[in-house]
Amino acid sequence: MSNAPLTGVTTDRVVIVGAGLGALYAALDLAPRPVLMISPEPLGQGASSAWAQGGVAAAMDATDSAAAHAADTITAGAGTVDAGVAEMVTAHAREHILDLTDLGTPFDRGPDGGYVMSREAAHSVARVVRVKGDQAGKQIMQTLIAAVRATPSVQVLEGTLAVKLETSGDTVTGVWIERSDGTTDPVLIKAPAILLAGGGSGGLFAHTTNPPRIRGQVIGMAARAGARIADPEFVQFHPTAIDAGEDPLPLATEALRGEGAILVNKDGERFMPAIHPDGELAPRDIVARAIFRQSMAGLRPALDTRKVLGAQVLTKYPTVAEACARAGIDPVHDTIPVAAAAHYHMGGVDTDAQGRATLGHLWVCGEASSTGLHGANRLASNGLLEALVYARTCARDISAHTPAVEDAPLVDIAFPGGGAPLDAASVSALRNCMTKYVGVLRTHEGLEEALSQIARIEADNADNVTFCNMTATATLIAAAALMRCESRGGHFRSDFPEADPDQAERTHLFLSDALIVRRAISTE
């Protein structure tokens, strides 16, 4: 193909936006159907999946059951979980663990060959399958990447970023991509089916555990194309990010608390037992708010692993040990300072039981989607599970509704010059705004201020499509939070601190609805 700049190409390949667990798993399930993956970084880098420490929730023990797992999911979701989705996802959990095992994932096994299970917050039993203590995401990703690299039908365009969906009426016909450093103008790829698997929104907040590029762009891109969004106000803040000045903040996995680690403040006071009967293993939103309040009071909360793990923390949880070492913390002898940080977005592109968005030829899986599984508060380690289940569901639905193709030429793109990278100061202003006003604790006045600031920052960057994807998602989160005048799960309003039974339902809205809310504030 000529190296002359192109404005667009057409392919018979299914285009997958993203390169995390959901994207890789779907690409493998689609094989031998030709696939094109849009990966902003080299495979394995920059995906939230690779950073997941806890593992995959699944009822693998004979004393456990999918029904019990579903019940815990529904309870943790604070009244807005789709029970049918919870039952379906948990029923399929075991088969995906076995499939990953067959692919070569080195899950931790006991002397009897059984899977080693960890207990995490709001689970009634230990049911989180792990790898080397805290390396589940990394190891699963390495296994899937090796499998994808060995699959001829999968083409990966590394260093590329999806920025806009092309539509005809209510149907998606293609996706615009550019170099991920923002130094080129976009090129249109027309394709028979688009699967969005590009992550969540944690990086929209100044304090986050997500990789730097995960800032709501995929959700915003779909919303700007006209897709319906569900539950955007529900953001989960992980209570135990290691508070040592890094951006993003390293994660101290919940499995540490499952082992018996406790939370204390600078005075050595253990504060969780007085807040919830489950103490450190209370639902994440409760622990996150407790951590946040300790921080705001200047009491410097910390995770204490010394008594329960001692020197074992260095070998059983190498990722945590490495993060502590970078910060000059000795977890064998010292407590680990922690803070609440944006970790997982329960909201996203609204999808049906087959992973279809409200726009034709568009499917979504993983954190960019909102399936109804998580409700207002995701049960720990259900994120990777949902990505696995819906990646396969989407892949099979795409195959069923897209003409069969045995082969397709490799997509060869020469990007035209131009483009402009994101303005770092504007990104920082947006992230600080989200943490200050749309973070762990929210108020009417703060959310209105957030929407006003988002509008101003967006106006200053109106020519940058990637930035506008970010501000679209930020607008959806803040507007939905303003509209929900109660506290539920990951959404807590200081001015409405109690749950309202009449609001125990999911949120569904379009970006146009959120913009009406935002514009109303600017005219007040």
| Phi (first) and psi of residue 123, to 5 degrees | -85, 135
Give the pair of three-digit tokens for residue 37: 């993956």
Report d(CA 196, CA 203) in Å as an integer.
18
DSSP strand E in 105-234: where? 117-118, 128-129, 154-158, 160-168, 171-179, 187-190, 194-196, 229-230
Report d(CA 62, CA 80) in Å as an integer.
29
Report d(CA 71, CA 93) in Å as an integer.
14
Confirm whether 13 is a catalytic residue.
no
102 contacts: CB under 8 Å, gap ≥ 6: none
Cβ atoms of 174 and 166 closer than 8 Å: yes
For residue 245, the tally of other CB atoms under 10 A from its CB is 9
Q: What is the 3 state secondary structure string of 305-355?
A: CCCCCCCHHHHHCHHHHHHHHHCCCCCCCCCEEEEEEEEEECCEEECCCCC
CA distances from 90 to 87, 95, 424 (A): 5, 10, 41
Return the DSSP state at 168. Answer: E
Report d(CA 209, CA 459) in Å as an integer.
28
**For the chain, first and last CA: distance in Å?**
56
Q: Which long-range contacts (CB under 8 A, 24 or more apart) does 111-118 make?
A: 114/60, 114/61, 115/60, 115/61, 117/60, 117/61, 118/54, 118/55, 118/255, 118/258, 118/259
Choosing from 228, 284, 484, 518, the catalytic residue is 284
Q: Indicate which residues carry an active-site annotation.
A: 284
